[in-house]
Amino acid sequence: MEDKINPVVKLIALVLGAVMVFLIDSVLMLISFVLLLVLLKVFYEVKGRFGRGITFLVIAIFLAQIIFVPEGEVLLDLRLFKVTLGAVENGILISGRFFSLITMSWIFVGTTEPRNLSSALSNLGVPYRYSFLLIIAMRFAPIFQFELSNVQQAQKIRGLKIDKDLKGLIRSVRYTTMPLLYSAMSKVNTLASSIEGRGFGMYKKKTFLYPIKFTFWDVLLVASLFILSFEIYYLNQLL
Amino acid sequence: MIEVQGLGVTYSSKNEPSIQDISFSIKEGEFVWLAGESASGKSTLMNCICGFIPQIIPAELEGSIIFNGEKNLDPLQLSRHITMAHQDPETQFCTETVEDELAFGLENRCLSRRKINKRIETTLEDLNCSELRHRELRTLSGGEKQKIAIASMLVLNPDVLILDEPTSNLDPISMKEVLKAIENVRRKSHSLTIILAEHRIGDLVKQIDRVIKLNEGELTGVIEDFQSLDQDEKNSIMDYSYPEYSREDVKKGKTILRIENMNHTLDGKKILKDIDLEVEEREIIALIGRNGSGKTTLVKLISGLSEVQEGKIKIFDNVIDSSNKVPPYELGEKIGYVFQNPNHQIFENTLEEEIMFATKNFSKGESKADKWLKKITTEENLEEKTHPHTLSFGQKRRLNIYSSSPHDPELIVIDEPFSGQDHQNALMIADILDDLWKKGKTLIVVTHNLEFANKFCTRALVLKDGSMVYDGEPVDLKSISGENGR
């Protein structure tokens, strides 16, 4: 679901949010922050759920803290290792930060039209050559994802088994990179020709069919975001 | 209007010139058909006319191209007059919606928003696709994408429109739609010069003024007034026929594939509906249907590359359903699979290694692979140590088929073998497939080529919107699909 918020304001919110999750060291505050993000994700109907890889990483980060960084009061003695209060707190903080960063990025990508972000950035003086890169990246990400899936299928049907160890990882990179690279190279010239052949870079400025301007309300929203961040940080210090 | 004088191009990655000593001229308002086999230099020539070579695509350029009296202009200067729609619209598109794609060039020219809106509206109307304006590009069919690719160039009001094989990846119905759209453009603007590189031009043959023929990088002929030729002379340029393949000794064997009540959904859309199918040994099946009708999904399910959601597949000794999955590398021992994009399935650095790839993975003897290696090196005049990515598009496609076979699979599935191939290459591929069949293989060929299906295959399956609407002999396919196919 899209919204009416200026994409640059959302970008600022994303950067501020990323800084905040590293400044917050109160478990209660971080859990509240994570819940707020989950609510936002549901509210904006952002597609996508944690895949096996990310879920595994969140759990692995949490368990690594429990097992390898014991500190403070012992909550549970499991013979092989002791579960301590400090380790649980650290586990929640570190895996919570990782979860927050991923969720914030999802919300940003899921609610922002690349063309609007490009238009809004250009309106603030960013040369459109650079802001256009965002559109290209968003345009080609799903194509390369599809191609990656095809390459992996082609490997499997011709009998390539990739073990889940370092050797397997190296083999996987070797047999995946080359086909993708050649496929990408075959696209680069066409894309560059298509862009330049339609006058990209002809003038210093260009028209935007849907211009996004930075309004008084956007300034107010950014100011509110900074104030909110300071409040959260202050509250975090108290807890 | 366009004067090409002694043009030669040598790419930095190659020693030999890709085109040499090309000279011809094109008058304003002409409809030019650029004819020639794959790798004859058509795309190189068109990229030169647009100024993309050598400015964007590095190459050594000899001779000159004069446009309206001005010599060797750069792509930005030429973009005011000449636009080019590429073969693969997916790669040409640089935005996410139809409206943005059409607006892109006009925004770069700093036109007012009012003018941009007006131009988009008029262009879409001219191509009879106004309803697509607010659609996302990824949701369009193959034919719609190609029409939008052409629209995004026409919206710029060019003097010259260049079309690089706009129908090469399309099903017959989409192909007709695109050719019709080009015909409409031609009818509406006779001052527009059109240069079309295409293997099959269908009804557009009536519109052609001039033919420029290329072969292996050299100009082999210019026909200045194509319409003055008699029908026999025209037909000699447009011979797409296939020989009759002997299928008299077809002795079908046991059933190797049985599909029961297969349904499949993707992103909420039903891709396959109630599919039941039996395939016996030694059959040659043509799987036909429009882009998006479910053909690739069906063959991927058969090969274990997609997970079965509903229904059951019995293939060789394996039973696959939603609760019982068989990894593709286990099925791969008996199934060879050739994907649509040649680059996605070349993994090694030499032809020898590429041919041996599957035999090594399946720990099969290398003697059979040796035979295939000798075949490709002899027939294509290549070295064993040649890097596969230095091959032409047609050679890569044949390598894909060769390298899917040395581990001796019983069933070979080929997805769109003729996509982007000229007739000569298509005939060479058909010969390889015929050879495989004579060696006892069963073949499933996903194709839009109805002539090939009719002459080569023993059975045709037609999919329409995910349902199997025909299963029988490959005769009268043009009327079954309701179209004249390629």
Q: Is the distance from CB of B233 to CB of B444 less than 8 angstroms?
A: no
The string over B188-205, giving b where at least 16 C-beta atoms fall within 10 Å of a residue's C-beta and e elsewhere, is: eeeebbbbbbbbbbbebb
A49 shares a domain with A113:
yes
Asked if B303 lies within 8 A of A157 by C-beta distance, the reply is yes
Mutate to test the interface with B, among A2, A193, A195 (most CBs of B within 10 A): A193
* A53 and A108 co-located in one domain: yes
Q: For residue range B301-356, list pLDDT tens digits in order.
A: 999 999 999 999 999 989 999 998 898 888 999 999 999 888 899 999 999 999 99
The pLDDT value given to residue A51: 63
| Judgement on whether residues A151 and A68 belong to the same structural domain of the protein | no
Tokens 């496609």 sit on residue: B397
> What tens digit of pLDDT does each residue of A130-152 get?
888 888 888 888 888 889 999 99
Question: Same domain for A226 and A108?
Answer: yes
Torsion on CA atoms A223, A229, A234, A236, rounded to nearest 10: 170
Residues A53 and A106 both lie in one domain: yes
Please give, rounded to a whole number of angstroms, the shortest distance from the CA of A86 to a CA of chain B. 43
Query: Which chain A residues have a beta carbon less than 8 Å from that of B331?
Result: 157
- For A164-227, what is the HEC assignment? CCHHHHHHHHHHHHHHHHHHHHHHHHHHHHHHHCCCCCCCCCCCCCCCCCCCHHHHHHHHHHHH
Task: Quote the minimal CA–CA distance from A130 to chain B in Å.
Answer: 14
A222 with A163, same domain? Answer: no
In the block, which residue shows the tokens 């097992």?
Answer: A67
Q: How far apart are CA B374 and CA A234, in angstroms?
A: 75
Q: Would you state the pLDDT for residue B486?
A: 41
- In the structure, what pLDDT confidence band is assigned to residue A186 with cuts at 50, 70 and 90? confident
- Tell if the CB–CB gap between B345 and A151 is shorter than 8 Å: yes
Per-residue pLDDT at B305: 92
Q: Kindly identify which residue of chain B lies nearest to residue A173, measuring between CA atoms.
A: B347
Q: Are residues A113 and A42 in the same domain?
A: yes
3-state helix, strand, coil split of chain B in percent (to 5) is 35, 25, 35
Q: How far apart are CA A110 and CA A114, in angstroms?
A: 10
Q: Mutate which of A117, A190, A202, A213 to disrupt the B interface (most B C-beta within 10 Å)?
A: A190
Residues of B in contact with A208 (CB under 8 A): 107
> What is the reported pLDDT for B484?
47
Residues of B in contact with A153 (CB under 8 A): 300, 305, 328, 339
Residues of A in contact with B335 (CB under 8 A): 157
Interface touch A158/B113, C-beta < 8 Å: no
In the structure encoding, which two tokens stand for residue B167, read together?
């129908």
- Residues A17 and A133 both lie in one domain: no
Residue B265 has a pLDDT of 93
Indicate the domain borders of chain B: 2-237, 255-481
Are residue A81 and residue A167 in the same domain, yes or no? no
Smallest CA–CA distance from B347 into chain A, residue: A175
Q: How far apart are CA B51 and CA B82, in angstroms?
A: 9
Query: How many cross-chain Cβ pairs, A to B, lie less than 8 Å apart?
Result: 172
Residues of chain B contacting A150 with CB distance shorter than 8 Å: 339, 341, 344
> pLDDT value at position B87?
85
Question: Looking at chain B from residue 96 to 135, which residues have their Cβ under 8 Å from any Cβ of chain A?
Answer: 96, 99-100, 103-113, 116-117
Whether residue B337 contacts residue B305, with contact meaning beta carbons closer than 8 Å, is answered with yes
| CB atoms inside a 10 Å sphere around CB B243 | 11
Say if residues B463 and B446 touch (Cβ distance below 8 Å). no
Q: Which residue of A has its CA nearest to B47?
A: A193
Residue in chain B nearest A147 by alpha carbon: B344
Which tokens in the block code for residue B295? 């053909």
The total number of residues shown for chain B amounts to 486
Contact across the interface for A194 and B156, Cβ inside 8 Å: no
The pTM for the full model equals: 0.80
Question: What H or E segment, with its residue span, contains residue B286?
Answer: strand B284-289
Query: What domain count does chain A have?
Result: 2
Mark yes or no for CB contact B79/A151 under 8 Å.
no
Query: Which residues of chain A neighbour B111 with C-beta distances below 8 Å?
Result: 207
Residues of A in contact with B336 (CB under 8 A): 157
The answer to whether residues A56 and A114 belong to one domain is: yes
Length of chain A in terms of residues written: 239
For B40, the token pair is 């004859």
**Cβ contacts of A32 within 8 Å, gap of 6 or more:** none
* Ramachandran category for residue B420: left, alpha or beta (phi over 0 → left; psi -120 to 50 → alpha): left
Partner residue opposite A179 with nearest CB, options B50, B332, B347? B347
Q: Are residues A5 and A109 in the same domain?
A: yes
Minimum CA–CA partner of A116 in chain B: B100
User: Closest Cα partner for B444 from B429, B427, B461?
Assistant: B461
Give me the domain span that covers residue A201. Answer: 125-210
pLDDT at A165 over 90: no
| pLDDT single digits (tens) A42-99 | 887 776 666 667 788 888 888 888 888 778 788 878 777 788 888 888 899 999 999 9
A116 CB neighbours in chain B (<8 A) are: none
Q: ω before B89 within 30° of 0 (cis)?
A: no
Minimal CA separation from B242 to chain A, in Å: 30
Q: Are residues A49 and A148 in the same domain?
A: no
Question: ipTM of the predicted structure?
Answer: 0.83
Are the CB atoms for B92 and A205 separated by under 8 Å? no
Q: Look at B407 and A189 and tell me if their CB atoms are within 8 Å.
A: no
Least confident of A30-39, A196-205, B196-205: B196-205
C-alpha dihedral (B311, B313, B319, B324), degrees to nearest 10: -40
By Cβ distance, the residue of A147, A157, A187 closest to B328 is A157
Q: Judge if B2-237 and B255-481 fold alike in CATH terms.
A: yes
Domain covering B2-237 in this structure, CATH number = 3.40.50.300
Are residues B110 and A206, on separate chains, in Cβ contact within 8 Å? yes
> If you average pLDDT over residues A21-34, what whole number do you get?
89
CB B313 within 8 A of CB B298: no
Measured CA to CA in angstroms, residue B296 lies from B69, B138, B287, B390, B414 at distances of 50, 17, 9, 28, 10
Residue A2: what pLDDT? Answer: 60
**Contacts within 8 Å (CB) and 24+ apart, A183-186:** A183/A147, A183/B341, A183/B343, A183/B344, A184/A144, A186/B343
Nearest CA to B309 out of B349, B269, B364, B350 is that of B269
Could you tell me which CATH number the domain at B255-481 has? 3.40.50.300
Residues of chain B with pLDDT under 50: 484-486
Write the single-letter amino acid at B125. Answer: E
Neighboring chain A residues of B358 at a CB cutoff of 8 Å: 158-159
